Amino acid sequence: DVDPYPFGIDTGSLSETLADINSEIYDVLVLVHLMGYPCEMKIIESIAKEYSLHVVEDAAQAHGTVYDNQKCGSFGIFSIFSFYIAHNIQAGEMGAVCTNDSDIAEKVRQLKANGRSCKCKVCTRYTGGCAVKEKTGIDPRFNHEFVGYNFKTTEFTAALANLQLSRADEIKKKRLENVKYLNDELKFLEPNIRLPLYNENVSYLAYPMVIEGKFKRKQLLNELEHCGVENRPLFGCIPLQQPAYEMYKSDYENKLKNARHIGKKGFYIGCHQYLSDDDLEYVVKVFKKLDGTKVE
């Protein structure tokens, strides 16, 4: 299950689960730093060591988040980041895999290019010739060692990502300022709506909230949208609320209560760096209006 506040994997639940199953059949523990909040990496690394598990980090939403003086995405054997348009570092699409393991890096380069035999970081066929082709007579661009995917990106998209990366600290700082402002100005919503924990080490993807009282999520989100405050429901619990995994629903029916609750009651609004002071004041004004009308 997840920690109800602030959404990372529940380390107690993780330990209990691994103790109750045949952990020897598993090799990898995948962690998600959701909404930019870091998982409890010290505890998790200890658990992973106890059960001989490799740690992999999904840091798609945690560009620049720091845990114990170390950036998220630098703990596991590899990590992934997303540069989707709604994320902190924006390139429209595209992502990155980070690792210190040269074998993993080589496999990733092949996997993202249809599984072909090319293993060079930068193609050398125009700057001295392809060593593989010269040695074997086979062009590695058209020789596939395994089935892969077409995850190749474009130079233009990569240029956008590089530009955004140069502004990473600035982006994080502005989002922190916006979260602090919203937390200070929306205190009146508690305890009916749980506001996000403020942590200066977090690089916030968005401003997540969880309804705990009088509000009904569907009606509240419709009202916010009507007033021009864009929003999204928080992510549904995978085996219980995602249709693609319905075949596992019966196995988890009476479990994962925190993930289920967040999937039903959670939502988020923007805290991105392009919000002006007027935008933030308007968001607060809308919530005050809706709170006063007792949306139920």
Determine the Cα–Cα distance for residues 158 and 95; give it in Å rounded to an integer. Answer: 9
The pLDDT tens digits of the residues spanning 4-61 come to 888 999 999 999 999 988 778 899 999 999 999 999 999 999 999 999 999 999 999 9
pLDDT greater at residue 274 or residue 135: 274
Determine the Cα–Cα distance for residues 93 and 101; give it in Å rounded to an integer. Answer: 25
The pLDDT tens digits of the residues spanning 105-128 come to 999 999 999 999 888 888 888 887
Cβ neighbours for 69, distance < 8 A, ≥ 6 positions apart = none
Cβ atoms of residues 47 and 26 within 8 Å:
no
Residue 66 pairs in a beta bridge with: 71
Determine the Cα–Cα distance for residues 157 and 32; give it in Å rounded to an integer. Answer: 25
What pLDDT shows up at residue 100? 96
Query: What domains can you pick out in the chain, each with its CATH number?
Result: 11-101+151-165 (3.40.640.10), 113-148 (no CATH), 168-291 (3.90.1150.10)
Please give the model's pTM, rounded to 2 decimal places.
Answer: 0.90
Cβ atoms of residues 18 and 44 within 8 Å:
no
Please, where are the H alpha helices in the chain? 11-20, 41-50, 102-111, 131-136, 155-165, 168-185, 217-226, 238-241, 257-265, 277-292
Is a pLDDT exceeding 50 seen at residue 166?
A: yes
Cβ atoms of residues 42 and 49 within 8 Å:
no
Q: Worst-scoring range by mean pLDDT, 18-22, 79-83, 93-97, 176-180? A: 18-22
